[in-house]
Structure 1
Amino acid sequence: MNAEYLEQLVKGTMKSITTGDIGAARLSPQKQQQFVRTVSQATMILDEARRLDMSSHTRDIDRIGFASRILRGAEEGQEPEEKSKPDINTNTLESQEVIAVAGITDSTLEDNIEQENFENTLIDLIADRVGIDLEELFLLGDKDSSDPLLSKIDGWLKKAANRITGEDFDPTDVESMFDSMLQGIPKKYLRNRSEWRFYVHWDIEDEYRNVLRARGTGLGDTAQTTADRLAYKGIQVADSSSMPSGTAFLVPSSNLVYGIYRDIRIEPDRQAKKRLTDFVTTLRVDAHFEDENAAIVAEGYTG
């Protein structure tokens, strides 16, 4: 298969999955849905977080509530002297552009081009890795970072309003850390523990399994022999490869909000001399909390 014919096949594939836009290639609406779905399915945290569709480069996350008592004793014929006003707060998603360049060799294209679902395979391959990278960005993003990707936004770990270190708990005791995190969260947020998660590095989750195993109970046997998700005081413990070593993150999964601006672009860049085609993917994203006060980060666990 010569390079010219291969390039024609690449362009044909791209035409089937994109719509033209001033020389660029926007994913068609159906393929955008496929791309975004694959992104979230590639990572556990993004799958549990709340995605907001962004029709422009910014979107507000509004919350409203009453911080104190609104009921008062009533007296017939008398109007209450005080009126309650709700607290209204807004966080804003401000999308920043990120880029991925995926080089696919001619042999890979030749192996797949005859398959009817090649375009789906292409999108899934790119979106799967994009999802992993976005989870890292949304967790570890820090505008002060020297990392060119992580410096694009401030992520969830930096934006969390509550934080403890190894000085606040026994850094060798995983349950001591979990307890200190629960103590550090304003109690009004802990009404429904089933919505909350301890997101931890793999080593911390594994250490907690060892703690349960050492107790010699049925729960300890289950922790040792199955991959079922564990829980601590009614809150699920989930490991993520994107979490830094020695760090834990306690938050309701629905409080994690991220936005993807829907104008996702994929452009092929043929490099015939190298026998490969670069597929350049660009999208605009951001992450925030609905309420940053309902989140706490623990750092300094040593095990």
Structure 2
Amino acid sequence: MDTNQDMLAKVQNAMKAMQRSDLGSSILAREKRQRFVRTVSASTKLLDRARRINMQSHTHDIDRVGFAARILRAATEADEPNGESSPNTDTNTLESVEAIAIAGLTDSTLEDNIEEEDFENTLIDLIADRAGLDLEELFIQGDKSSSDPFLALTDGWLKKAANEVDGTSDADFASDDVESMFDSMIHAVPKKYLRNREDWKFYAHWDIEDAYRNVLRNRGTGLGDSAQTTAQGLAYKGIGVEDSSNMPAGTVLLAPSSNLVYGMYRDIRIEPDRQAKKRLTDFVTTMRVDCHYEDENAAVVGRGFSG
């Protein structure tokens, strides 16, 4: 049985392998940070699809530029056309907020794993896997007016979307008809954004994705059979349908995957806090993050599906 001093020494040795020795701090070494970020992204479908920005300061501008109207015109030889077309420019800003996680690992867990050469990677994966789920929850459900202190850190994608349809009292769609909901959401998208439907996704609460599988099953077709018996991906009118564990009940987000943006600023820190009397070590992880859209007009939130 390891003594407390032995366990502390092992934890410290593992942390040294993870951290930037040139700074003598808790900042993850570059390769360990990359592993942490990859694991965070891989933990959830939405973060894996979204575009990640490695922020170089606590704020980062997401600039977009485009032409809203026709720029070609009839040309006449030896005649200079009048006027010129100017692009529209807009900016969304990521403003990082700090999040903290405290993961307690018991001595028995550490003893079973600390001798392994790859222990620090195991530790990073354990923390990053859960952090990914939590960050997705924040980026989806974040609302500065929330009574939940974590969700109140920032406004998430549901709050920042420019378009919304509501099935409450059948205002915009029949609340018990999943296809009616999908149609209403598609109609709410400004049509200039729907040139490439393959990049768009319905990110739905699990019950909504399941309800759509039941609709397909009841049609008695080959597609219905596969929707019932396999986990193959679904689509509605050329747009993929995916369940998202952090989507609130009765809610769907429709957006191109490339339009979802999140940023991580500052080196990720993991610091050990030894609790000898409890025979465990708390690993305190801190990071600064935020989320936004490339263009919030190319996103629709659907609420109020009741099944």
TM exceeding 0.5: yes
Do structure 1's residue 254 and structure 2's residue 255 form an aligned pair?
A: no
Whole-Å Cα distance in 2 between the matches of residues 268 and 234 of structure 1?
49
Map of 2:285 onto structure 1: 281
Q: Which amino acid aligns with 2:190?
A: P
Counterpart residue type for residue 43 of structure 2: A
Hey, what's the Cα distance between the residues in 2 that align with 1:272 and 1:23?
23
Aligned to 1:290: 294
* 1:27 alignment partner, SS class: coil
User: Which residue does 1:97 correspond to in 2?
Assistant: 98
Structure 2: 5+ residue stretches without partners: none
State the Cα deviation string for residues 172-193 of structure 1 (Å, max 9, x = none). Answer: 0000000000000000000000
Between the aligned partners of 1:20 and 1:296, the Cα distance in structure 2 is 46
Distance in 1 of aligned mates of 2:258 and 2:221: 33
The one of 211, 214, 218 aligned to 2:222: 218
Confirm whether residue 243 of structure 1 aligns to residue 247 of structure 2. yes
Residue 19 of structure 1: SS of its match in structure 2?
coil
Q: Residue in 2 aligned with 1:58?
A: 59
Q: Partner of 1:79: helix, strand, or coil?
A: coil
The equivalences for 1:63-78 within 5 A come to 63-78=64-79
Q: What's the offset of the Cα at 1:56? A: 1.4
CA displacement at 1:59 relative to structure 2: 1.1
Cα deviation, 1:14-67, whole Å, max 9, x if unaligned, reads 000112587740000000000000000000100011001112111111110000
Equivalent of residue 234 in structure 1, options 205, 221, 238: 238
Distance in 2 (alpha carbons) for counterparts of 1:146 and 1:21: 41
SS of residue in 2 equivalent to 1:128:
helix
Q: 8 Å contact 2:19–2:25 — kept in the other structure?
A: no
* Structure 1 partner of 2:33: 32
1:211 and 1:295 map into 2 onto residues whose CA distance is: 25
- Contact between 1:161 and 1:293, CA under 8 Å: does it hold in 2? yes
| TM-score normalised by length of structure 2 | 0.97
Instruction: Give me the identity figure in percent.
Output: 67
Structure 1 letter corresponding to 2:220? G
1:196-211 map, 5 Å: 196-211=200-215
8 Å CA contact 1:261, 1:285 repeated in 2: yes
- Asked if the contact 1:32–1:262 (Cα under 8 Å) also holds between the matched residues in 2, the reply is no
Question: Which whole-Å CA distance do the structure 2 matches of 1:182 and 1:142 have between them?
Answer: 25
Q: 1:263 aligns with which of 260, 267, 282?
A: 267
- The worse-fitting range, judged by mean Cα deviation, of 279-288 and 68-77 is 68-77
- 8 Å CA contact 1:59–1:94 kept in 2: the answer is yes
Sort the Cα spacing of 1:57 and 1:21 in 2 relative to 1 into closer, same or farther, 3 A.
farther
2:49 is matched with 48
Q: Within 2, Cα distance between the matches of 1:126 and 1:31?
A: 12
The CA RMSD over aligned residues, in Å, is: 1.0
- What is the identity, as a one-letter code, of the residue corresponding to 1:72? R
Structure 2 Cα separation of the partners of residues 267 and 278 of structure 1 = 8
* Equivalent AA in structure 1 for residue 69 of structure 2: S
Alignment correspondent of 2:129: 128
Q: Deviations over 1:84-127 (max 9, x none)?
A: 00001111111111000001111100010111111110000000
Pick which of 20-29 and 250-259 moved more. Answer: 20-29
Match of 2:6 in 1: 5
After superposition, the C-alpha distances for 1:154-180 in whole angstroms (9 at most, x for unaligned) are: 000000000010110000000000000
Which secondary structure does the structure 1 equivalent of 2:26 belong to? strand
